[in-house]
């Protein structure tokens, strides 16, 4: 592999930078737009360099919202999205790890049927059962609540399967050893299994947090009150059908704020993210 | 498939699976069953009475040429999104797989769009390509293209495909890179010693060895294009103009909510379920095969 190594390397660098530019350009435009004057943008005279309205726009976006009559500060939406993402991630991990524990470490009647009942949920995303789920959540009086936002998204088997697979790889001797030490099922779970699962839980958390944060169709249906909106819903409502009324700097600032937490998680916890992504897809 | 040594307890295991079973039964099985049942029912105009009509909703649905257009459109979108995104991601992954300085930096800079939510992706692109104020739209108009996705259905479709493919690049890149890194160096070196030039090496050695990854990603991308594009479509075009960007999932949403036609919406849901189950089955078969390789 010696032919034209130097040139090839430059070409590779060049192509990668073009790729990065393609990937980053829309986000750069959004950021630049969020720092400029609305009148300029609406006239189609937006500059590609940052303007001077950064603090003003972001202050307005986070604490006040758009100038419309049904405005809601984006700070509230960020809070709602955060609560929803945390509930989805932690809730799913919590109920999955204990059910996987039961399925792997106990023998009881209907063990396999129960496993299959959980396993089959892998197949269908929430979108295909959206209206019946809506009706159930409404009947349970969970519309406009954090429980209603997160519970239907917790009902899936990915995490259970992952923990089950992981528990299967833990050597039998560990259980026997802690038995000799007199540990019961609770102690074994708490002192042995949980510490061993820490990396798996963290990787799963990263993926589920992003999944919860980025939900759209479900919160769109079940939130009717403005103060329960997640940021993904809020941003759509800011775009009015008549272009002239859309406050683009605020919309773009909201887009930037909506991206920040999940992108931060991916970049900072990159190893865990990659691991979680590869494992949940298996 | 089970540990040799286990705990003995009569009630504890049930208590441990109870929370998940409850959530799954209430929020998964019950609504899924309702969707199937609903698809056999017909509601009168005022929602006062429902009658059991067997396959009437399906017959009605499948007799509309419109619905087939929607199905075809969904598949066309899916393949276009998958092909655009997969080819660009593969190119970038092959480049990033070389021993370059700053390799990990490139990876970081290419994977973060995974975390951007579909509606936000829609907003970003709709802003740049808005016919009256978008900066990319101005370039297109300056180049003599009559760019107006608000009126032109094909342009609106291109807009959706572009935005959806953009978002999926990082995901595909990551899996391609992992696939490339699992190809043993010795195989590549052997081909090089045999005198195969880089392009030939890629098509005769790398590409075939990568085919399981490509197939896996193709299925994942199609499922992505079916469901996760909802947020993109809803923020960019809302299915318009004149339904030119209405996919199957979007139609379920519109018919059920705005149209109030729950029976038809449920029948569509069931058809979607069947398609997803088939796709998942294909994917599982493939995963099994990969294990026995």
Question: How high is the pLDDT of residue A55?
Answer: 81
Burial of B53 (0-12, 13-18, 19+ CB in 10 A): middle
A135 to B88: CB separation less than 8 angstroms, yes or no: no
d(CA A203, CA B137): 40
Q: What angle do CA A235, A238, A239 make, to 5 degrees?
A: 100
Q: Is B259 on the interface with A (CB under 8 A)?
A: no
- Residue with structure tokens 């790889």? A169
- Which CB contacts under 8 angstroms, 24+ apart, belong to A266-272? A266/A206, A266/A210, A266/B111, A266/B112, A266/B114, A266/B115, A267/B108, A267/B112, A269/A202, A269/A206, A270/B107, A270/B108, A270/B111, A272/A199, A272/A202, A272/A203, A272/A205, A272/A206
pTM over 0.90: no
d(CA B149, CA B160): 10
Considering only residues A249 and A95, tell me which one the structure prediction assigns the higher pLDDT. A95
Residue B244 in 3-state DSSP? coil
A270 to B100: CB separation less than 8 angstroms, yes or no: no
Q: Is B20 on the interface with A (CB under 8 A)?
A: yes
Q: Which residues of B touch A1 (CB under 8 A)?
A: 188-189, 192, 198
d(CA B160, CA B122): 8
Q: Under 8 Å CB-to-CB from A232, ≥6 apart: which residues?
A: A81, A214, A215, A216, A219, A258, B117, B119, B120, B231
Q: Is B185 on the interface with A (CB under 8 A)?
A: no
CA nearest to B135, candidates B146, B124, B144, B122: B124
d(CA B284, CA A236): 36
d(CA A251, CA B48): 42
Question: How high is the pLDDT of residue B103?
Answer: 76
Percent of chain A beyond pLDDT 90?
A: 16
Beta bridge partners of residue A106, listed in sequence order? B7
Question: How high is the pLDDT of residue B45?
Answer: 62
Among the residue ranges A8-22, A60-74, A82-96, A135-149, the one predicted with the least confidence is A60-74
Q: Which residues of A touch B188 (CB under 8 A)?
A: 1
Evaluate the omega torsion of the peptide bond into residue B161 and state whether it is cis, within 30 degrees of 0.
no
Beta bridge partners of residue B7, listed in sequence order? A106
Quickly count: other Cβ atoms within 10 Å of residue A146's Cβ.
Answer: 14
Beta bridge partners of residue B51, listed in sequence order? B42
Question: How high is the pLDDT of residue B293?
Answer: 34
pLDDT surpasses 80 at A71: no
Question: How high is the pLDDT of residue B168?
Answer: 92
A98 to B1: CB separation less than 8 angstroms, yes or no: no
A175 to B5: CB separation less than 8 angstroms, yes or no: yes
Mean pLDDT by 10 residues, chain B (293 residues): 73 91 89 84 69 80 85 91 93 85 83 90 88 82 80 87 92 89 82 79 83 84 86 86 85 77 82 83 65 36
Which of B15, B31, B206 best tests the A interface by mutation, with the highest count of A CBs <10 A?
B31
Q: Which residues of B touch A98 (CB under 8 A)?
A: 16-17, 19-20
A16-42: buried (b, 16+ CB within 10 Å) or exposed (e) per residue? Answer: beebbeebebbbebbbbbbbbbbebbb
Tell me which DSSP letter residue A37 carries.
Answer: -
Q: Is B138 on the interface with A (CB under 8 A)?
A: yes
How close is the nearest chain A Cα to the Cα of B75, in Å? 17
CA nearest to A41, candidates A254, A243, A238, A256: A243
Beta bridge partners of residue B50, listed in sequence order? B43
Q: Which residues of B touch A169 (CB under 8 A)?
A: none
- Using CB atoms, which residue from A33, A103, A270 is nearest to B108? A270
B236-250: buried (b, 16+ CB within 10 Å) or exposed (e) per residue? Answer: bbebbbebbbbbbbb
Q: Under 8 Å CB-to-CB from A147, ≥6 apart: which residues?
A: A87
Per-residue pLDDT tens over the stretch A83-128: 999 999 999 999 999 999 998 988 888 888 888 888 878 767 777 7
d(CA B244, CA B10): 58
CB B3 within 8 A of CB A104: yes
CA nearest to B283, candidates A215, A25, A281, A240: A281
A125 to B227: CB separation less than 8 angstroms, yes or no: yes
* Alpha carbon separation from A219 to A13, A212, A234, B193 (Å, rounded): 42, 10, 10, 57
Burial of B97 (0-12, 13-18, 19+ CB in 10 A): middle
Per-residue pLDDT tens over the stretch A177-209: 888 888 888 888 898 899 999 988 988 898 899
Q: How many CA atoms lie within 13 A of A10 on its CB side?
A: 3
Question: How high is the pLDDT of residue B190?
Answer: 83
Question: How high is the pLDDT of residue B197?
Answer: 79
């Amino acid at each position: 592999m010696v032919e034209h190594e130097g040139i090839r390397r430059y070409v590779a660098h060049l192509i990668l930078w073009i790729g990065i530019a393609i990937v980053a350009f829309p986000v750069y435009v959004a950021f630049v737009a969020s720092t400029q004057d609305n009148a300029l943008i609406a006239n189609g005279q937006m500059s590609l360099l940052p303007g001077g309205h950064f603090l003003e726009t972001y202050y307005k976006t986070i604490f006040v919202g758009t100038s419309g009559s049904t405005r809601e500060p984006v700070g509230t939406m960020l809070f709602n999205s955060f609560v929803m993402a945390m509930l989805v991630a932690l809730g799913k991990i919590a109920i999955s790890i204990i059910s996987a524990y039961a399925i792997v470490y106990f023998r009881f009647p209907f063990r396999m049927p129960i496993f299959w009942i959980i396993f089959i949920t892998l197949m269908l995303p929430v979108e295909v059962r959206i209206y019946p789920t809506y009706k159930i959540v409404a009947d349970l009086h969970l519309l406009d609540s954090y429980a209603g936002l997160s519970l239907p998204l917790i009902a899936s088997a990915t995490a259970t399967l992952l923990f089950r697979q992981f528990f299967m790889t833990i050597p039998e001797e560990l259980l026997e050893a802690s038995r000799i030490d007199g540990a019961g099922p609770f102690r074994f779970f708490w002192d042995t299994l949980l510490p061993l699962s820490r990396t798996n839980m963290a990787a799963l958390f990263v993926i589920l947090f992003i999944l919860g944060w980025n939900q759209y169709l479900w919160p769109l249906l079940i939130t009717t009150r403005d103060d329960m909106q997640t940021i993904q819903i809020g941003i759509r409502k800011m775009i009015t059908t008549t272009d002239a009324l859309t406050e683009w700097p605020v919309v773009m600032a909201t887009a930037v704020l909506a991206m920040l937490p999940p992108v931060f998680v991916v970049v900072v916890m990159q190893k865990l993210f990659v691991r979680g992504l590869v494992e949940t897809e298996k | 498939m089970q540990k040799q040594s286990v705990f003995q307890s009569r009630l504890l295991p049930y208590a441990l699976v109870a929370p998940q079973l409850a959530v799954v039964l209430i929020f998964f099985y019950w609504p899924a069953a309702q969707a199937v049942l609903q698809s056999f029912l017909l509601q009168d105009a005022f929602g006062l009475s429902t009658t059991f009509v067997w396959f009437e909703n399906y017959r009605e649905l499948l007799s509309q040429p419109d619905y087939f257009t929607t199905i075809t459109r969904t598949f066309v979108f899916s393949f276009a999104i998958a092909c655009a995104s997969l080819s660009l991601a593969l190119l970038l992954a092959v480049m990033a797989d070389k021993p370059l300085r700053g390799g990990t930096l490139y990876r970081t800079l290419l994977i973060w769009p995974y975390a951007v939510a579909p509606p936000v992706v829609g907003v970003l692109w709709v802003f740049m390509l808005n016919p009256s104020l978008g900066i990319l739209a101005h370039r297109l108009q300056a180049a003599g293209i009559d760019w107006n996705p608000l009126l032109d259905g094909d342009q609106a479709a291109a807009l959706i495909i572009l935005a959806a493919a953009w978002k999926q690049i990082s995901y595909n890149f990551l899996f391609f890179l992992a696939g490339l890194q699992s190809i043993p160096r010795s195989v590549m070196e052997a081909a090089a010693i045999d005198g195969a030039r880089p392009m030939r090496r890629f098509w005769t050695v790398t590409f075939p060895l990568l085919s399981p990854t490509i197939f896996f990603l193709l299925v994942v991308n199609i499922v992505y294009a079916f469901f996760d594009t909802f947020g993109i479509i809803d923020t960019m075009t809302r299915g318009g103009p004149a339904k030119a960007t209405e996919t199957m999932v979007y139609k379920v949403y519109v018919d059920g909510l705005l149209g109030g036609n729950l029976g038809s919406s449920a029948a569509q849901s069931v058809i979607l379920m069947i398609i997803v189950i088939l796709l998942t089955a294909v994917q599982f078969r493939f995963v099994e095969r990969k294990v026995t390789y």
